[in-house]
Amino acid sequence: MKGLVFTEFLELVDEKFSPETCERMIGMSVLPSGGAYTSVGTYDAGEMLSLVSSLSTVTAIPVPDLLKGFGRHLFSRFVSAFPAFFKGVGSALEFLPRVEDYIHVEVKKLYPDAELPTFSCAVPEPGTLVMTYRSGTNLPDLAEGLIRGCIAHFGDPVSVRRETAPGNPHETVFTISPR
């Protein structure tokens, strides 16, 4: 997992909770990196799971809620950090299919070692998008937060339905359809 995700996470914990909470979380977590993250580095995704789990213990907020909240925040950070990806894109339904076909391709050019999730997309009918999320780290809550952050950014009048793919717990299907 790219270091940028970790640095953003620690900043968000500082901001939404407190530096003391952030330190307690780090102290409770199993972090081979020692929690010394740089945005250009790459770290084991297990460190993120450990951090979120510790934060949940400290704050008594369930892990899924923390990950969804972080996903929403992360999307807004992507908007400010990578404006080129958003140029000429007017809606979430237009943007989301580009994640797999364009953004991940560009990310791979810069970071060939990046382990990215896949988001295969289908449009069963106009105005509806079905995204199937697959990832070695299996963080569907974070993916949901990112998708919801994207919808909030563009303001599409759509709703999101989430289901685990039948027979495959490592695949999550998000159906984005008009409200």
Partner 1 sequence: MDSQVEILRRRFERERLARKEAERIAEERSRELFEKNLELERLSSTDPLTGLHNRRHFSASARIEFQRALRFDLKLSAVMMDIDHFKRVNDRFGHAAGDAVLVGVAGACIAGIRATDLHARYGGEEFCFLLPETGLDGAGILAERLRDAVAALHFTAGGVDFAVTASFGVAERLADGDSIELLLDRSDKALYEAKREGRDRVVPWKAS
> Least CB distance from residue 26 to partner 1, whole Å?
8
Near partner 1 by CB under 8 A, which window of 39-47, 74-82, 94-102, 124-132?
A: 39-47
Type of residue found at 51: L
35 binds partner 1 (CB under 8 A): yes
Residue 30 and residue 50 in contact, taking contact as beta carbons nearer than 8 Å: yes
Which of 11, 15, 40, 106 forms a contact with partner 1 (CB under 8 A)? 40
23 binds partner 1 (CB under 8 A): yes
Residue closer to partner 1 (CB basis): 38 or 164: 38
CA 93, 99, 134, 47 torsion-angle sign: negative
Residue 114 and residue 42 in contact, taking contact as beta carbons nearer than 8 Å: yes
Cite the DSSP H helix spans in the chain: 3-16, 19-28, 45-59, 63-81, 92-98, 104-110, 140-154
> Least CB distance from residue 20 to partner 1, whole Å?
7
DSSP-derived 3-state class of residue 143 = helix
41 binds partner 1 (CB under 8 A): yes
Q: Which residues make up the interface to partner 1 (CB under 8 A)?
A: 19-20, 23, 26, 34-41
